Chains A and B, each alone.
Chain A
Amino acid sequence: MNEGQSGVAIAFEQVEKGFDGRKVLDKVSFAVAEGEAICILGRSGTGKSVTLKLMIGLLQADAGKVMVEGKDMATLDEDGLAKVRRNMGYLFQSAALFDSYTVNQNLEMPLHRLDRNKSGEEIKCRVEEALKEVGLEKDGRKLPSALSGGMQKRAGLARALVLRPRILLVDEPSSGLDRITASEIDDLLMKVKTEQHTTMVIVTHDIHGARKIADKFAVLDQGRLLAFGTPEELDRRADQHLQAFISER
């Protein structure tokens, strides 16, 4: 894939990544188009979260290329990485809210760090707006420890969205949540996708939620990309191993 290729938000080209001699990703290639939502499915420990961390530059690939908006993540210096990350949001599995900061301060931090042109008043307005989008407008002054798991996830989502990113990376949005709360998070992601046309990469075990949001599935198995395509395409395949990952039963 060439640098600057239009229409492609993220591309993996023959990406390999290992830890302590164990290969977690083995020659994985796929591309995510702008505005598209893909769900990465697979068993635990098959490199799904690693894939997200490679996309945002928290990890570097051992081999192959990770391209984000036409930029090779391996070649970027700190400034280049900051520019790419300016357009990316990341919702962590545990929400990863800074526990000594209030919800408001958690949301202000990305704006202070990555959007230095904004005034204090603009930052306050943007934070209020982001909290309203996730239904937490009355909880801004609370510490994360005072929030339920679902509220923490929503606050984490608000922090990921506060910079209005073009790309949103989501790690296990429904983990640790009950079915109803997980569904609410899925609805929020759907809203972001349809209203803001944000490119999304979602790692999940929840096939029900994945089918609601995803335009495409990427199925990882033992470090390799087992299948990549729309849910309908993959449903038509007669591969029982694949169906075990994508079937709702």
Chain B
Amino acid sequence: MLKSIFDSIGQVTLFGARAIRDAWYPPFECEYLLVQFYEIGAGSFLLVVASGFALGVVMTLHTRSTLVQFGATAEIPIFQSLAFFNEIGPLVAALLMAGRVGAGIGAQLANMRATEQIDAIETLSVDSFKLLVVTRVIACTLMLPLLTIFMDAAGILGGFLSEHIWSRLSFTLYMQRAFDGVALADFLPPTLKTAVFGYLIAIISCFFGYTTNEGSDGVRKAATNSVVVSSLVVILADVILVKCIFFLFPDQAI
């Protein structure tokens, strides 16, 4: 059992390393890459923005009920923005992507394997790994930070709406309070760490989809494993990356 877990970790690591290596060599499959940018980025946009907005509203409601006891409701905007920039935006966007994109990649590649589409690509002398895996890895890695920014923005907007309904706080004042005291180090490292999340989600999902060979049952397993494992790995990676951010930006840890 333990041996097979380490064996799988080794295989995924090699798979991920191959994707990084192959990304630098032509052909770059630009046309297919653009399709992946669209499917992963634009396809997840509404989900991420709607979730961010709803979370922003709910977060403000919860924060308000606590802060009102200390007479600190004026701090709601900064709480909201820091919570979203530091953790909620990056982590929730990554988990949403693991659910939507991870399952999609796992199922699609496993289906392509089961129906011999990957073999068909190879018969055309096209490197199926570059076409199917590398393009998805690049798209996920670059799109997740962008989606995180949209999630942060939607969350802060949701927070404003909630706060505006309660206290009639103006948009300008809310934004002023939300960004007052927010340093670049509060925003940039947590947003950039989502590139690592995107890479991990894509590698894990592609691995399960690309390497399966079990027909329709393989499709089911690949979709499930892609979501479960990539979500778990994202959460574990978050712990490590937050520690790294605290190490590199000590002010963040205070």
Residues of A within 8 A of B (CB): 53, 56, 58, 78, 81-82, 85-86, 88, 90, 92-94, 96-99, 109-110, 113-114
Contact residue among A86, A94, A109 (Cβ-Cβ distance under 8 Å from B115): A94
The CA-CA distance from A80 to B125 in the complex, in Å, is 10
Contact residue among B111, B112, B119 (Cβ-Cβ distance under 8 Å from A53): B119
Question: Chain A residues with Cβ under 8 A from B126's Cβ?
Answer: 113
Please encode chain B, from 107 to 132, with 1 for each CB lying within 8 Å of some chain A CB and 0 for all others: 00001100111011111111100000
Question: Chain A residues with Cβ under 8 A from B127's Cβ?
Answer: 78
Smallest CB-CB separation from B114: which chain A residue?
Answer: A94
In the bound complex, do residue B124 and residue A92 qualify as a contact, i.e. CB atoms below 8 Å apart? Answer: no
Q: Contacts A94-B115, A99-B115: A56 and B123 contacting too (C-beta < 8 A)?
A: yes
In the bound complex, do residue A99 and residue B117 qualify as a contact, i.e. CB atoms below 8 Å apart? Answer: yes
B40 to chain A, nearest CB (A): 14
Question: Chain B residues with Cβ under 8 A from A94's Cβ?
Answer: 115-116
In the bound complex, do residue A96 and residue B116 qualify as a contact, i.e. CB atoms below 8 Å apart? Answer: yes
Smallest CB-CB separation from A109: which chain B residue?
Answer: B124
In the bound complex, do residue B124 and residue A93 qualify as a contact, i.e. CB atoms below 8 Å apart? Answer: no
In the bound complex, do residue B116 and residue A85 qualify as a contact, i.e. CB atoms below 8 Å apart? Answer: no
Question: Chain A residues with Cβ under 8 A from B125's Cβ?
Answer: 78, 81-82, 85-86, 113-114
In the bound complex, do residue B117 and residue A58 qualify as a contact, i.e. CB atoms below 8 Å apart? Answer: no
A6 to chain B, nearest CB (A): 25
Interface residues of B in 87-142 (CB under 8 A from A): 111-112, 115-117, 119-127
Q: Contacts A93-B116, A96-B115: A110 and B122 contacting too (C-beta < 8 A)?
A: no
Residues of B within 8 A of A (CB): 111-112, 115-117, 119-127
Some 24 contacts from A to B, beta carbons below 8 A apart, are A56-B123, A58-B119, A58-B122, A58-B123, A78-B125, A78-B127, A85-B124, A85-B125, A86-B125, A90-B120, A92-B116, A92-B119, A92-B120, A96-B115, A96-B117, A96-B120, A97-B117, A99-B111, A99-B112, A99-B117, A113-B125, A113-B126, A114-B124, A114-B125
The CA-CA distance from A93 to B117 in the complex, in Å, is 11
Smallest CB-CB separation from A92: which chain B residue?
Answer: B116
| Most A-side CB within 10 Å, residue of B116, B119, B120, B124 | B120
The CA-CA distance from A99 to B127 in the complex, in Å, is 18
| Most A-side CB within 10 Å, residue of B111, B119, B125 | B125
A154 to chain B, nearest CB (A): 16
Smallest CB-CB separation from A156: which chain B residue?
Answer: B120
The CA-CA distance from A137 to B119 in the complex, in Å, is 26
B63 to chain A, nearest CB (A): 44
The CA-CA distance from A114 to B117 in the complex, in Å, is 17
The CA-CA distance from A97 to B119 in the complex, in Å, is 11
| Most A-side CB within 10 Å, residue of B116, B121, B123, B127 | B123
Smallest CB-CB separation from B108: which chain A residue?
Answer: A100
The CA-CA distance from A58 to B213 in the complex, in Å, is 15
Q: Which 5 A-B pairs have the closest CB atoms?
A: A82-B125, A96-B120, A96-B116, A92-B116, A90-B123
In the bound complex, do residue B120 and residue A98 qualify as a contact, i.e. CB atoms below 8 Å apart? Answer: yes
The CA-CA distance from A13 to B151 in the complex, in Å, is 61
In the bound complex, do residue B117 and residue A98 qualify as a contact, i.e. CB atoms below 8 Å apart? Answer: yes
A107 to chain B, nearest CB (A): 11
Question: Chain A residues with Cβ under 8 A from B111's Cβ?
Answer: 99
The CA-CA distance from A50 to B115 in the complex, in Å, is 16
A79 to chain B, nearest CB (A): 9
Given contacts A90-B120, A113-B126, 5 further A-B contacts (CB under 8 A): A85-B123, A88-B123, A96-B117, A96-B119, A97-B117
Smallest CB-CB separation from A111: which chain B residue?
Answer: B124
Smallest CB-CB separation from B120: which chain A residue?
Answer: A96
B73 to chain A, nearest CB (A): 51
The CA-CA distance from A93 to B119 in the complex, in Å, is 11
The CA-CA distance from A43 to B106 in the complex, in Å, is 33
B96 to chain A, nearest CB (A): 23
Contact residue among B117, B119, B124 (Cβ-Cβ distance under 8 Å from A113): B124
The CA-CA distance from A59 to B215 in the complex, in Å, is 19
The CA-CA distance from A77 to B189 in the complex, in Å, is 43
The CA-CA distance from A85 to B126 in the complex, in Å, is 11
Question: Chain A residues with Cβ under 8 A from B115's Cβ?
Answer: 94, 96, 99
A241 to chain B, nearest CB (A): 31
A176 to chain B, nearest CB (A): 12
The CA-CA distance from A142 to B117 in the complex, in Å, is 18
The CA-CA distance from A200 to B122 in the complex, in Å, is 20
